Structure 1
Protein backbone atom coordinates (compact mmCIF):
# COMPACT_ATOMS: atom_id res chain seq x y z
CA UNK A 1 0.00 0.00 0.00
CA UNK A 2 2.84 2.40 0.71
CA UNK A 3 3.98 2.32 -2.91
CA UNK A 4 0.51 3.41 -4.00
CA UNK A 5 0.19 6.28 -1.56
CA UNK A 6 3.58 7.91 -2.09
CA UNK A 7 3.43 8.38 -5.87
CA UNK A 8 -0.08 9.76 -5.49
CA UNK A 9 1.57 12.73 -3.80
CA UNK A 10 3.32 13.46 -7.08
CA UNK A 11 0.60 15.79 -8.25
CA UNK A 12 -2.40 15.70 -5.94
CA UNK A 13 -2.92 17.16 -2.54
CA UNK A 14 -4.67 15.25 0.22
CA UNK A 15 -8.21 16.47 0.70
CA UNK A 16 -8.07 15.61 4.39
CA UNK A 17 -6.25 17.92 6.75
CA UNK A 18 -5.98 20.66 4.16
CA UNK A 19 -6.32 23.29 6.84
CA UNK A 20 -3.22 22.06 8.61
CA UNK A 21 0.09 22.60 6.87
CA UNK A 22 -0.56 25.64 4.70
CA UNK A 23 -1.86 29.00 5.85
CA UNK A 24 -5.44 29.68 4.83
CA UNK A 25 -4.73 33.25 3.72
CA UNK A 26 -2.60 33.49 0.59
CA UNK A 27 0.18 36.03 1.00
CA UNK A 28 1.42 37.76 -2.12
CA UNK A 29 5.19 37.87 -2.55
CA UNK A 30 6.82 41.29 -2.51
CA UNK A 31 7.49 41.72 -6.22
CA UNK A 32 9.59 44.42 -7.83
CA UNK A 33 8.58 45.89 -11.21
CA UNK A 34 11.19 43.61 -12.82
CA UNK A 35 9.71 40.60 -11.00
CA UNK A 36 6.24 41.52 -12.21
CA UNK A 37 7.59 41.62 -15.75
CA UNK A 38 8.94 38.10 -15.39
CA UNK A 39 5.67 36.88 -13.88
CA UNK A 40 3.81 38.29 -16.89
CA UNK A 41 6.23 36.53 -19.22
CA UNK A 42 5.78 33.24 -17.34
CA UNK A 43 2.02 33.60 -17.70
CA UNK A 44 2.34 34.21 -21.44
CA UNK A 45 4.76 31.30 -21.85
CA UNK A 46 2.48 28.84 -20.09
CA UNK A 47 -0.57 30.02 -21.99
CA UNK A 48 1.43 29.55 -25.19
CA UNK A 49 1.90 25.86 -24.48
CA UNK A 50 -0.75 23.80 -26.22
CA UNK A 51 0.82 20.34 -26.36
CA UNK A 52 4.00 18.92 -24.88
CA UNK A 53 5.67 15.53 -24.71
CA UNK A 54 8.86 14.54 -22.93
CA UNK A 55 10.59 12.48 -20.32
CA UNK A 56 10.29 13.14 -16.60
CA UNK A 57 12.13 12.23 -13.44
CA UNK A 58 10.19 12.26 -10.19
CA UNK A 59 11.68 12.69 -6.73
CA UNK A 60 9.04 11.55 -4.24
CA UNK A 61 8.70 12.76 -0.64
CA UNK A 62 10.45 9.60 0.62
CA UNK A 63 13.45 10.22 -1.65
CA UNK A 64 12.56 7.58 -4.23
CA UNK A 65 13.24 8.39 -7.87
CA UNK A 66 11.23 7.19 -10.85
CA UNK A 67 11.04 8.06 -14.52
CA UNK A 68 8.56 7.95 -17.36
CA UNK A 69 6.89 9.80 -20.22
CA UNK A 70 4.66 12.85 -19.81
CA UNK A 71 2.12 14.22 -22.29
CA UNK A 72 0.33 17.54 -21.82
CA UNK A 73 -2.55 18.94 -23.83
CA UNK A 74 -3.78 22.25 -22.44
CA UNK A 75 -6.25 22.97 -21.15
CA UNK A 76 -7.07 20.22 -18.72
CA UNK A 77 -5.25 17.13 -19.96
CA UNK A 78 -2.06 15.39 -18.89
CA UNK A 79 -0.72 11.85 -18.71
CA UNK A 80 2.17 10.46 -16.65
CA UNK A 81 3.15 6.92 -17.72
CA UNK A 82 5.81 5.48 -15.41
CA UNK A 83 8.54 3.32 -16.88
CA UNK A 84 8.17 -0.42 -16.36
CA UNK A 85 8.25 -2.35 -14.13
CA UNK A 86 6.20 0.34 -12.38
CA UNK A 87 2.45 -0.35 -12.65
CA UNK A 88 1.56 3.32 -12.06
CA UNK A 89 -0.37 5.64 -14.35
CA UNK A 90 -1.72 9.15 -13.76
CA UNK A 91 -4.19 10.76 -16.17
CA UNK A 92 -5.80 14.19 -15.97
CA UNK A 93 -8.88 14.78 -18.07
CA UNK A 94 -12.58 15.57 -17.91
CA UNK A 95 -12.00 17.77 -14.88
CA UNK A 96 -10.48 15.05 -12.73
CA UNK A 97 -7.19 13.44 -11.88
CA UNK A 98 -7.12 9.64 -11.88
CA UNK A 99 -4.22 7.69 -10.41
CA UNK A 100 -4.10 3.94 -11.07
CA UNK A 101 -1.94 1.13 -9.70
CA UNK A 102 -2.61 -1.86 -11.95
CA UNK A 103 -0.69 -4.23 -9.69
CA UNK A 104 -2.69 -3.37 -6.57
CA UNK A 105 -5.84 -2.89 -8.67
CA UNK A 106 -6.55 0.42 -6.97
CA UNK A 107 -7.63 3.77 -8.36
CA UNK A 108 -7.70 7.20 -6.72
CA UNK A 109 -9.75 10.02 -8.24
CA UNK A 110 -9.82 13.71 -7.27
CA UNK A 111 -11.25 16.87 -8.88
CA UNK A 112 -8.56 18.60 -10.90
CA UNK A 113 -9.43 21.98 -9.41
CA UNK A 114 -8.52 20.63 -5.95
CA UNK A 115 -4.94 19.91 -6.97
CA UNK A 116 -1.88 22.13 -7.47
CA UNK A 117 -1.49 20.56 -10.90
CA UNK A 118 -4.82 22.03 -11.91
CA UNK A 119 -3.21 25.47 -11.88
CA UNK A 120 -0.86 24.45 -14.70
CA UNK A 121 -3.65 22.90 -16.76
CA UNK A 122 -6.29 25.60 -16.43
CA UNK A 123 -7.32 27.56 -19.54
CA UNK A 124 -6.24 31.19 -19.82
CA UNK A 125 -3.96 30.96 -16.81
CA UNK A 126 -3.67 34.27 -14.96
CA UNK A 127 -1.03 34.65 -12.25
CA UNK A 128 -3.19 37.16 -10.40
CA UNK A 129 -6.69 37.36 -8.95
CA UNK A 130 -7.69 33.81 -8.00
CA UNK A 131 -4.02 32.73 -8.24
CA UNK A 132 -1.45 34.23 -5.87
CA UNK A 133 2.31 34.26 -6.42
CA UNK A 134 3.66 33.58 -2.93
CA UNK A 135 7.38 33.41 -3.83
CA UNK A 136 9.56 34.46 -6.75
CA UNK A 137 13.26 34.26 -7.59
CA UNK A 138 15.48 34.86 -10.61
CA UNK A 139 19.13 33.86 -10.45
CA UNK A 140 21.74 31.97 -12.46
CA UNK A 141 19.50 31.69 -15.52
CA UNK A 142 16.60 30.13 -13.59
CA UNK A 143 13.24 31.72 -12.81
CA UNK A 144 11.03 30.23 -10.09
CA UNK A 145 7.49 31.20 -9.12
CA UNK A 146 5.39 29.56 -6.41
CA UNK A 147 1.62 29.61 -6.96
CA UNK A 148 -1.43 28.86 -4.81
CA UNK A 149 -5.14 29.31 -5.25
CA UNK A 150 -5.94 32.58 -3.54
CA UNK A 151 -9.15 31.30 -1.94
CA UNK A 152 -7.81 27.88 -0.92
CA UNK A 153 -4.03 27.84 -0.42
CA UNK A 154 -4.50 24.77 1.74
CA UNK A 155 -5.01 22.75 -1.45
CA UNK A 156 -1.22 22.94 -1.93
CA UNK A 157 1.36 24.95 -3.83
CA UNK A 158 2.97 24.62 -7.23
CA UNK A 159 6.47 25.96 -7.88
CA UNK A 160 7.33 26.40 -11.55
CA UNK A 161 10.97 26.31 -12.63
CA UNK A 162 11.88 27.85 -15.98
CA UNK A 163 15.06 28.60 -17.89
CA UNK A 164 15.21 32.32 -18.64
CA UNK A 165 16.81 32.30 -22.10
CA UNK A 166 14.69 31.34 -23.84
CA UNK A 167 11.95 31.25 -21.20
CA UNK A 168 10.90 27.60 -21.06
CA UNK A 169 9.44 25.20 -18.53
CA UNK A 170 12.05 22.85 -17.05
CA UNK A 171 10.59 21.51 -13.83
CA UNK A 172 8.05 21.95 -11.09
CA UNK A 173 7.54 20.92 -7.50
CA UNK A 174 4.35 20.34 -5.55
CA UNK A 175 3.90 20.73 -1.81
CA UNK A 176 0.75 19.03 -0.58
CA UNK A 177 -1.50 19.96 2.33
CA UNK A 178 0.74 18.08 4.77
CA UNK A 179 3.90 19.85 3.61
CA UNK A 180 5.27 16.90 1.62
CA UNK A 181 7.18 17.88 -1.51
CA UNK A 182 7.45 16.07 -4.82
CA UNK A 183 9.73 17.31 -7.59
CA UNK A 184 9.38 16.75 -11.33
CA UNK A 185 12.23 17.42 -13.77
CA UNK A 186 11.45 17.55 -17.49
CA UNK A 187 13.80 16.78 -20.37
CA UNK A 188 13.80 15.82 -24.06
CA UNK A 189 10.74 18.04 -24.54
CA UNK A 190 8.84 18.49 -27.77
CA UNK A 191 6.07 21.07 -27.97
CA UNK A 192 3.24 21.83 -30.35
CA UNK A 193 2.76 18.34 -31.76
CA UNK A 194 -0.60 16.55 -32.25
CA UNK A 195 -1.40 14.09 -29.45
CA UNK A 196 -3.93 11.25 -29.60
CA UNK A 197 -6.80 12.15 -27.30
CA UNK A 198 -7.27 8.55 -26.17
CA UNK A 199 -4.16 8.99 -24.04
CA UNK A 200 -6.26 11.18 -21.72
CA UNK A 201 -9.09 8.71 -21.26
CA UNK A 202 -9.72 8.63 -17.51
CA UNK A 203 -11.79 5.44 -17.70
CA UNK A 204 -8.82 3.26 -16.87
CA UNK A 205 -9.29 -0.26 -15.60
CA UNK A 206 -6.94 -0.98 -12.67
Structure 2
Protein backbone atom coordinates (compact mmCIF):
# COMPACT_ATOMS: atom_id res chain seq x y z
CA UNK A 1 0.00 0.00 0.00
CA UNK A 2 2.41 2.69 -1.12
CA UNK A 3 1.96 6.32 -0.30
CA UNK A 4 3.88 9.54 -0.06
CA UNK A 5 5.83 9.10 3.13
CA UNK A 6 6.78 12.01 5.33
CA UNK A 7 9.44 9.99 7.11
CA UNK A 8 11.50 7.21 5.60
CA UNK A 9 11.63 3.92 7.45
CA UNK A 10 12.78 0.53 6.26
CA UNK A 11 9.89 -1.23 7.97
CA UNK A 12 7.10 1.15 7.10
CA UNK A 13 5.94 -0.51 3.90
CA UNK A 14 5.91 -3.88 5.63
CA UNK A 15 3.72 -2.48 8.41
CA UNK A 16 1.25 -1.03 5.93
CA UNK A 17 1.22 -4.19 3.86
CA UNK A 18 0.58 -6.52 6.80
CA UNK A 19 -2.09 -4.30 8.27
CA UNK A 20 -4.01 -4.21 4.99
CA UNK A 21 -6.69 -1.66 4.78
CA UNK A 22 -8.41 0.07 3.90
CA UNK A 23 -8.50 -0.69 3.81
CA UNK A 24 -10.18 0.17 4.46
CA UNK A 25 -12.41 2.20 5.38
CA UNK A 26 -12.75 -0.42 6.38
CA UNK A 27 -16.81 -2.36 9.74
CA UNK A 28 -18.59 -5.75 9.88
CA UNK A 29 -20.02 -8.74 11.76
CA UNK A 30 -18.15 -11.47 13.60
CA UNK A 31 -17.25 -14.66 11.76
CA UNK A 32 -20.09 -17.13 12.28
CA UNK A 33 -19.65 -20.82 13.10
CA UNK A 34 -15.89 -20.54 12.74
CA UNK A 35 -16.14 -19.90 9.00
CA UNK A 36 -15.03 -16.59 7.56
CA UNK A 37 -16.97 -14.75 4.90
CA UNK A 38 -14.06 -15.31 2.55
CA UNK A 39 -14.34 -19.07 3.05
CA UNK A 40 -18.08 -18.95 2.43
CA UNK A 41 -17.51 -17.03 -0.78
CA UNK A 42 -15.33 -19.80 -2.20
CA UNK A 43 -18.49 -21.73 -2.94
CA UNK A 44 -20.39 -18.78 -4.35
CA UNK A 45 -20.18 -19.98 -7.96
CA UNK A 46 -22.08 -23.17 -7.15
CA UNK A 47 -24.08 -22.12 -4.07
CA UNK A 48 -26.03 -19.28 -5.61
CA UNK A 49 -27.96 -19.72 -8.88
CA UNK A 50 -27.76 -16.00 -9.61
CA UNK A 51 -23.98 -16.18 -9.73
CA UNK A 52 -24.04 -18.59 -12.66
CA UNK A 53 -25.58 -15.84 -14.77
CA UNK A 54 -22.91 -13.32 -13.76
CA UNK A 55 -19.79 -13.33 -15.90
CA UNK A 56 -16.45 -12.58 -14.26
CA UNK A 57 -15.86 -8.86 -14.16
CA UNK A 58 -12.31 -7.78 -14.91
CA UNK A 59 -11.10 -4.19 -14.90
CA UNK A 60 -10.22 -3.09 -18.40
CA UNK A 61 -6.95 -1.53 -19.49
CA UNK A 62 -8.49 1.92 -19.82
CA UNK A 63 -9.00 2.11 -16.06
CA UNK A 64 -12.73 1.45 -16.02
CA UNK A 65 -14.70 -1.70 -15.28
CA UNK A 66 -15.85 -4.33 -17.73
CA UNK A 67 -19.52 -4.60 -18.58
CA UNK A 68 -21.60 -5.22 -15.46
CA UNK A 69 -25.01 -6.82 -15.29
CA UNK A 70 -27.92 -4.99 -13.69
CA UNK A 71 -27.67 -7.25 -10.64
CA UNK A 72 -23.97 -6.55 -10.25
CA UNK A 73 -24.46 -2.79 -10.47
CA UNK A 74 -27.21 -3.01 -7.86
CA UNK A 75 -24.90 -5.00 -5.57
CA UNK A 76 -22.08 -2.46 -5.88
CA UNK A 77 -24.50 0.41 -5.25
CA UNK A 78 -25.72 -1.35 -2.10
CA UNK A 79 -22.14 -1.43 -0.86
CA UNK A 80 -21.69 2.28 -1.60
CA UNK A 81 -24.97 3.08 0.18
CA UNK A 82 -23.84 1.12 3.22
CA UNK A 83 -20.65 3.15 3.61
CA UNK A 84 -22.54 6.39 2.97
CA UNK A 85 -24.91 5.46 5.81
CA UNK A 86 -22.08 5.32 8.34
CA UNK A 87 -21.61 8.39 10.52
CA UNK A 88 -19.70 6.83 13.39
CA UNK A 89 -18.70 3.25 14.04
CA UNK A 90 -16.65 1.39 16.61
CA UNK A 91 -15.89 -2.26 17.20
CA UNK A 92 -13.27 -4.97 17.56
CA UNK A 93 -11.01 -6.27 14.79
CA UNK A 94 -9.00 -9.42 14.17
CA UNK A 95 -6.23 -9.14 11.59
CA UNK A 96 -4.58 -12.12 9.93
CA UNK A 97 -1.32 -11.31 8.16
CA UNK A 98 0.09 -13.09 5.08
CA UNK A 99 2.26 -15.24 7.39
CA UNK A 100 -0.90 -16.22 9.37
CA UNK A 101 0.09 -14.18 12.41
CA UNK A 102 -2.89 -12.57 14.10
CA UNK A 103 -3.42 -9.31 15.96
CA UNK A 104 -6.48 -7.98 17.75
CA UNK A 105 -7.61 -4.53 18.77
CA UNK A 106 -10.33 -1.89 18.76
CA UNK A 107 -11.25 0.53 15.99
CA UNK A 108 -13.16 3.80 15.71
CA UNK A 109 -14.50 5.47 12.56
CA UNK A 110 -16.07 8.84 11.89
CA UNK A 111 -16.84 9.79 8.33
CA UNK A 112 -15.59 11.46 6.32
CA UNK A 113 -12.02 10.30 6.55
CA UNK A 114 -11.44 9.81 10.28
CA UNK A 115 -10.47 6.47 11.78
CA UNK A 116 -8.31 4.93 14.46
CA UNK A 117 -7.10 1.35 14.98
CA UNK A 118 -5.61 0.50 18.38
CA UNK A 119 -3.62 -2.73 18.34
CA UNK A 120 -3.45 -4.82 21.50
CA UNK A 121 -0.35 -6.36 23.05
CA UNK A 122 2.30 -7.14 22.15
CA UNK A 123 2.54 -4.54 19.35
CA UNK A 124 0.40 -1.73 20.80
CA UNK A 125 0.71 0.15 17.52
CA UNK A 126 -1.85 2.80 16.65
CA UNK A 127 -3.03 3.80 13.17
CA UNK A 128 -4.78 7.17 12.98
CA UNK A 129 -6.29 9.15 10.12
CA UNK A 130 -7.09 12.80 10.75
CA UNK A 131 -8.84 13.10 7.38
CA UNK A 132 -5.73 14.19 5.51
CA UNK A 133 -2.86 12.07 6.74
CA UNK A 134 -2.62 8.50 7.96
CA UNK A 135 -0.08 7.99 10.75
CA UNK A 136 1.30 4.74 12.16
CA UNK A 137 2.45 5.32 15.72
CA UNK A 138 4.72 2.80 17.42
CA UNK A 139 5.40 3.24 21.16
CA UNK A 140 8.94 1.96 20.58
CA UNK A 141 9.69 4.67 18.00
CA UNK A 142 9.94 8.41 18.60
CA UNK A 143 8.36 9.58 15.34
CA UNK A 144 5.35 8.13 13.51
CA UNK A 145 5.33 7.15 9.84
CA UNK A 146 2.89 9.37 7.96
CA UNK A 147 1.17 8.91 4.59
CA UNK A 148 -1.30 10.98 2.61
CA UNK A 149 -4.75 9.44 3.07
CA UNK A 150 -5.56 9.92 -0.63
CA UNK A 151 -2.68 7.59 -1.49
CA UNK A 152 -4.33 4.68 0.38
CA UNK A 153 -7.47 2.62 -0.40
CA UNK A 154 -9.20 4.06 2.69
CA UNK A 155 -10.26 7.11 0.72
CA UNK A 156 -12.60 5.02 -1.45
CA UNK A 157 -14.65 3.82 1.53
CA UNK A 158 -14.52 6.74 3.94
CA UNK A 159 -14.76 9.81 1.71
CA UNK A 160 -17.76 12.13 2.01
CA UNK A 161 -19.53 10.72 -1.04
CA UNK A 162 -18.78 7.03 -1.52
CA UNK A 163 -19.48 5.92 -5.10
CA UNK A 164 -17.56 2.78 -5.99
CA UNK A 165 -19.00 2.65 -9.50
CA UNK A 166 -17.54 6.09 -10.13
CA UNK A 167 -14.26 5.97 -8.23
CA UNK A 168 -13.11 2.34 -8.32
CA UNK A 169 -12.26 -0.29 -10.89
CA UNK A 170 -14.66 -3.14 -10.19
CA UNK A 171 -12.70 -6.38 -10.56
CA UNK A 172 -15.35 -8.91 -9.55
CA UNK A 173 -18.84 -9.08 -8.05
CA UNK A 174 -20.38 -12.19 -6.52
CA UNK A 175 -23.47 -12.97 -4.51
CA UNK A 176 -24.37 -16.13 -2.61
CA UNK A 177 -27.27 -16.52 -0.19
CA UNK A 178 -26.90 -13.59 2.23
CA UNK A 179 -23.41 -12.55 1.12
CA UNK A 180 -22.12 -9.93 -1.33
CA UNK A 181 -18.47 -9.96 -2.38
CA UNK A 182 -17.05 -7.00 -4.29
CA UNK A 183 -13.43 -6.94 -5.42
CA UNK A 184 -12.12 -3.55 -6.48
CA UNK A 185 -9.04 -1.49 -7.19
CA UNK A 186 -8.37 2.19 -6.74
CA UNK A 187 -8.13 3.97 -10.10
CA UNK A 188 -5.10 5.86 -8.82
CA UNK A 189 -1.77 4.32 -9.92
CA UNK A 190 -0.37 5.35 -6.52
CA UNK A 191 -2.56 2.77 -4.74
CA UNK A 192 -1.95 -0.62 -6.38
CA UNK A 193 -3.42 -3.86 -5.10
CA UNK A 194 -6.94 -5.18 -4.67
CA UNK A 195 -9.57 -5.02 -1.94
CA UNK A 196 -12.24 -7.69 -1.48
CA UNK A 197 -15.21 -6.57 0.61
CA UNK A 198 -17.44 -9.21 2.21
CA UNK A 199 -20.87 -7.97 3.28
CA UNK A 200 -23.80 -9.83 4.78
CA UNK A 201 -27.21 -8.75 3.48
CA UNK A 202 -29.48 -10.09 6.22
CA UNK A 203 -31.04 -8.61 8.21
CA UNK A 204 -29.34 -5.59 6.59
CA UNK A 205 -26.22 -4.87 4.56
CA UNK A 206 -23.21 -4.95 6.87
CA UNK A 207 -19.50 -5.31 6.17
CA UNK A 208 -18.17 -8.45 7.83
CA UNK A 209 -14.56 -8.44 6.68
CA UNK A 210 -12.17 -7.39 3.94
CA UNK A 211 -9.12 -8.93 2.31
CA UNK A 212 -6.29 -6.83 0.93
CA UNK A 213 -4.04 -8.19 -1.82
CA UNK A 214 -0.97 -6.01 -2.23
CA UNK A 215 1.21 -5.47 -5.29
CA UNK A 216 3.28 -8.54 -4.33
CA UNK A 217 0.18 -10.77 -4.14
CA UNK A 218 0.26 -11.04 -0.34
CA UNK A 219 -3.12 -11.15 1.41
CA UNK A 220 -4.17 -9.64 4.72
CA UNK A 221 -7.62 -10.35 6.19
CA UNK A 222 -9.39 -8.10 8.70
CA UNK A 223 -12.56 -9.37 10.42
CA UNK A 224 -14.63 -7.10 12.64
CA UNK A 225 -17.28 -7.60 15.32
CA UNK A 226 -19.10 -5.96 18.27
CA UNK A 227 -20.19 -3.07 16.07
CA UNK A 228 -21.74 0.05 17.57
CA UNK A 229 -23.09 2.85 15.36
CA UNK A 230 -24.61 4.89 18.19
CA UNK A 231 -21.68 7.30 18.36
CA UNK A 232 -21.06 6.59 22.03
CA UNK A 233 -17.38 6.48 22.85
CA UNK A 234 -16.25 7.93 19.52
CA UNK A 235 -14.53 11.02 20.91
CA UNK A 236 -13.22 13.52 18.29
CA UNK A 237 -9.90 13.59 20.15
CA UNK A 238 -9.29 9.99 19.09
CA UNK A 239 -8.46 11.20 15.59
CA UNK A 240 -5.86 13.80 16.57
CA UNK A 241 -2.36 12.51 15.94
CA UNK A 242 0.03 12.61 18.92
CA UNK A 243 -2.71 13.92 21.19
CA UNK A 244 -1.60 13.85 24.86
CA UNK A 245 -5.24 14.25 25.94
CA UNK A 246 -5.90 10.65 24.84
CA UNK A 247 -4.39 9.45 28.10
CA UNK A 248 -7.41 10.91 29.86
CA UNK A 249 -10.04 9.23 27.65
Task: Tell me the TM-score normalized by structure 1.
Answer: 0.84
Quote the residue 1:171 is aligned against: 209
Quote the residue 2:237 is aligned against: 198
| Alpha-carbon distance in structure 2 between the residues aligned to 1:130 and 1:29 | 14
Quote the residue 1:158 is aligned against: 195
Number of residues of Structure 1 aligned to a counterpart in Structure 2: 197
Q: Which residue, 101, 107, 121 being the options, matches 2:144?
A: 107
Quote the residue 1:183 is aligned against: 221
Report the aligned-residue RMSD: 2.6
Quote the residue 1:127 is aligned against: 164
- The 1:93/1:154 distance shift into structure 2, 3 A limit, reads closer
Give the SS at the match of 2:144.
strand
| 1:1-206 alignment runs, 5 A limit | 6-9=14-17, 10-11=19-20, 26=63, 28-152=65-189, 154-165=191-202, 166-194=204-232, 195-203=234-242
Cα deviation for residue 24 of structure 1 reads 7.2
- The 1:2/1:60 distance shift into structure 2, 3 A limit, reads farther
Quote the residue 1:20 is aligned against: none
Structure exhibiting the larger radius of gyration computed from Cα positions:
2
For structure 1, the residue ranges without an aligned partner over 5 or more in a row are: 14-22
Name the structure where strand makes up a greater proportion of residues.
1
Give the SS at the match of 1:128.
helix
- The 1:5/1:132 distance shift into structure 2, 3 A limit, reads closer
- The 1:12/1:46 distance shift into structure 2, 3 A limit, reads closer
